Amino acid sequence: MQKFGFIGLGIMGSAMAKNLARAGFDVTVWNRTPEKCAELAALGAKIAKAPRDVVQGCPITFAMLADPAAAEAVCFGPDGALTGIGEGRGYVDMSTVDAGISRRIAEAVTAKGGRFLEAPVSGSRKPAEDGTLIILAAGDRSLYEEATPALEKMGKKVLYLGEVGNGANMKLVVNMVMGGMMSIFCEGLALGEKAGLDRSDILEVIDAGAMANPMFRLKGGLIDKGDYTVAFPLKHMQKDLRLAVNLGDNMKQPLYSAAIANEVFKKAKELGFGEEDFSALFKAVQG
């Protein structure tokens, strides 16, 4: 039986760790808020006192943290993952961070004798629960191969993208496109309604043509019901857009639409919608 550690039991991490436990792996977990470990313990997972203890006790540890600051804190902080790395142990960071932070963590892990893989995911709460995420891995090839049995329980598609940074950049590109799509989608709904069109008719027309896609279909239906139950927090989408815009600056690539979408999401956060699903952008756009 393979043994895996899992650090970070938020909306995504909790569902992903549960899939590992249900698959019969020996799982050890840690979360900043210990109460979130209870459901994993009920599935047979062991609970560690600190990230260091998880890494020391497991050949491979996965981390799924909310943002770059959390990813760095868990790695470099007191009793952090880095203090337990060594002897070829693997650290797989599945958080959405920029390539620079991913490389910094990779360098620190390898300097201590460990192996590093970045593996951010495309997908939200439901795909995480169903084990149908798209996993964007890059880094140590041997660690990728050893972690694949676990990755395949968390995702329906697992890609190896080469050197560290490629996974992070791919995730930012994907989420930048998704954030931009949501922004114009919400503006279209708001404009149509103010022009006297029925929202359900707008959704039906969009779903019948070349623009049809699963996100518009799912989120459009929920917007129509006024249901903004969080699957992917709006504040996290704004964070990803900000990171994408920063990447554009570094690459000297103009990102006109992404920059505007980022400002719209920033306004939605300012209005207090940050903890809701990113489709709550509609409430900010609607005015």
Active-site residue set: 171
Tokens for 153, please give them: 């329980």
Question: What are the phi and psi torsion angles at 3 (to 5°)?
Answer: -115, 130
Cα distance between the two ends of the chain: 54
Q: What distances in angstroms separate CA 145 from CA 121, 140, 257, one per listed residue?
A: 17, 9, 38
- The whole-angstrom separation of Cα 273 and Cα 277 is 8
Farthest CA pair distance, the chain: 66
Only one residue has tokens 């620079």, namely 100
CA atoms within 13 A on the CB side of 178: 22
